[in-house]
Amino acid sequence: MNILESILAAQNGGAVKQMSQQLGVGEDQAASVLSALVPALAGGFQRNMQSTGGLDALMGALSGGQHAQYFDNPASLANAVGDGNGILGHILGSKDVSRQVATRAAAQTGLDAGILKQALPIVAALMMGAMAKQGGGASMGSAAGSPGGGLLSMLTPMLDSNRDGSIVDDVMGMLGKLGR
């Protein structure tokens, strides 16, 4: 199961329901927000994992943080904004990039960019929760025999948009679009 499917199914849709309440949108719109933001954030996670020390930092955050709470208890998402903003700072690097991601997702979903900006930290926290829950913390790095294999197996279906088996070209394309 990829990370988007995991989040949508979390607690029988409880995460989507909680997010829709926080954002003041319908559950279908909240699911659209997730569908638009998760791939963009997955690209940020991928880039961060490939940077020097990035995988170790992510592994440390997953094993030492309380991120699984966001996945296990959707009501905890009400307090996820601060944690989510910290996560966004690590994976996207700047508020400008976060705004660009929100603007692109708004165009994709038809929702106001302000709603997508509000959703970004919530989605980032949910993604960390899903990775912490599914990956089991420190064991994720050795899965599939390569650094970050377990994480990569969760993120790859979201990133390989042309389904060629390689995410390199897709991630580079995403990053090129964000730099414009």
* Full 3-state SS string of 107-176: HHHCCCHHHHHHHHHHHHHHHHHHHHHHHCHHHHHHHHHCCCHHHHHHHHHHHCCCCCCCCHHHHHHHHH
pLDDT at 144: 36
pLDDT band at 173 (very low <50, low <70, confident <90, very high): low
pLDDT at 179: 46
Question: How many angstroms separate the CA atoms of 54 and 161, rounded?
Answer: 23
pLDDT at 54: 76
Q: Which residue has the higher pLDDT, 63 or 85?
A: 85
Span 166-180, average pLDDT: 48
For the entire predicted model, the pTM comes to 0.76
pLDDT over 50 at 47, yes or no:
yes
pLDDT over 70 at 55, yes or no:
yes
pLDDT band at 156 (very low <50, low <70, confident <90, very high): low
Question: How many angstroms separate the CA atoms of 3 and 93, rounded?
Answer: 21
Question: How many angstroms separate the CA atoms of 144 and 170, rounded?
Answer: 21
